[in-house]
Structure 1
Amino acid sequence: MIKVGLILGIAGACRTDELVNLTVDDIEDVGSSLIVKIPNTKTKIPRIFVVTDVGNMLQLFRKYLSLRPPHVKHKRLFLYYKAGKCSSQPVGKNTMGKIPSVVASSSATLLADAGVDITTIKRHAGWKSTTVAEGYVENSIENKTKSANQVLVEAVDVKDVED
């Protein structure tokens, strides 16, 4: 359950409520990927994202879904998982809440580290604020490395001129 939560959370920069309320009907398995719809978001703007089969993520999702008991009367995706089995009890906000706070920032950080622009990060996470996205770009290791390289190249050029 936690691995599937991490996969979906990182792929879609999902918040706790978005994961808790995710239903089996919100996910379409199209073979080579999953199309995930988040109908109820904090910003009131529905979001769609895709999960591809990097690292056999689809196999893990399908295995988790196959463990769903047939008698479950609700459509919520996340069920309590223990000893290789799922119960019919849905995972609550407090249990799920341990995952997304790290997931949303991890997803934005991964994008920023990959050099993705602010607009794309904002769209990915469903953020309206440029300030929030700028914080991830500013703190990106990739951007800090580029800055360090620029400063060091300048320092070396100045030293060569002085020698």
Structure 2
Amino acid sequence: MAFIDWRKQQGTESFVEEVFLAYFEDKSQHYAPSTLWSIYSMLKSKMIANHNIDISRYSRLLTFVKTKNVGFQSKQASVFTPEEIKKFLLEAPDSEFLVIKAVTVFGISGGCRGEEICNVMLGHVKDTGSEIVVRIPESKTYTAKLFPILSKTSVEIIRRYIALRPPNSPTDRFFILQRGNRCFGQPIGKNTIAQMPRKVAAFLNYCELKNYLIF
């Protein structure tokens, strides 16, 4: 337990309220108030189970943790507007952004999470001639996800991306790395997908790049 280790480092074996106050004062220098409250709740359960000590009776400690949460607001992620997405899809150069455009289309058209996008296979995507139909056999809800890509702009983006994929790619994963006007056989991972909104924000010349969401 982190608290027990910290207590030993401080050279004490006491469970008095002052020790807990010092511990949470130290933690408050490194963690957000919401995380501090989670640490308190977890420690309370462990102290009751392992040492038969109920720290909720320590009124000064409880007041300290609650006070840290007063007025705290977690940083919310921003979401691109439809106009911003349209601008990106129409104006961003394919030579740098085609795979990001294709991922964006999947995220918007199918409401796909990053993990679902990461696991799309070639066989899941079908061009009917008038639309692109995507069927993902398994999703986070353990049910198949089926959705069409209908808009002319989005359909053309997916077709251009498919054409860019090498026919002899060693992977059946649909989304693979792009460098310039070429795609390579290395599948795109979840971390790469998670960074894509920042690249969209950079193209749109936004100063704040860290907290944007597309999907």
TM-score, normalised with respect to structure 1: 0.59
What's the CA shift string for 1:77-129, capped at 9, x where partnerless? 1111111110111111100123488233xxxxxxxxxxxxxxxxxxxxxxxxx
Q: Partner of 2:134 in structure 1? A: 36
* Letter paired with 1:48: L
8 A Cα contact 1:32 1:53, kept in partner: no
Q: Partner of 1:95 in structure 2? A: 192
Q: Distance in 2 between matches of 1:102 and 1:46?
A: 24
Q: Distance in 2 between matches of 1:71 and 1:34?
A: 22
Q: Does 1:2 align with 2:100?
A: yes
Q: Partner of 1:142 in structure 2? A: none
Q: What are the equivalent positions in structure 2 for 1:1-163 lying under 5 Å apart? A: 1-54=99-152, 56-99=153-196, 102-104=213-215
Q: Distance in 1 between matches of 2:138 and 2:214?
A: 18
8 A Cα contact 1:16 1:99, kept in partner: no
TM-score, normalised with respect to structure 2: 0.45
1:70 match: secondary structure: coil
Identity across the alignment (%): 33
Q: Distance in 2 between matches of 1:69 and 1:96?
A: 20
CA-atom RMSD, angstroms? Answer: 1.6
8 A Cα contact 1:23 1:77, kept in partner: yes
* Letter paired with 1:74: T
Q: Distance in 1 between matches of 2:142 and 2:124?
A: 16
The alpha carbon displacement at 1:16 in A equals 1.0
What's the CA shift string for 1:140-161, capped at 9, x where partnerless? xxxxxxxxxxxxxxxxxxxxxx
* Structure number with larger C-alpha Rg: 2
Count of aligned pairs between the two proteins: 103
8 A Cα contact 1:27 1:36, kept in partner: yes
8 A Cα contact 2:126 2:132, kept in partner: yes
8 A Cα contact 2:171 2:186, kept in partner: no
Q: Distance in 2 between matches of 1:25 and 1:99?
A: 24
* Letter paired with 2:148: V
1:97 match: secondary structure: helix
Q: Distance in 1 between matches of 2:138 and 2:123?
A: 13
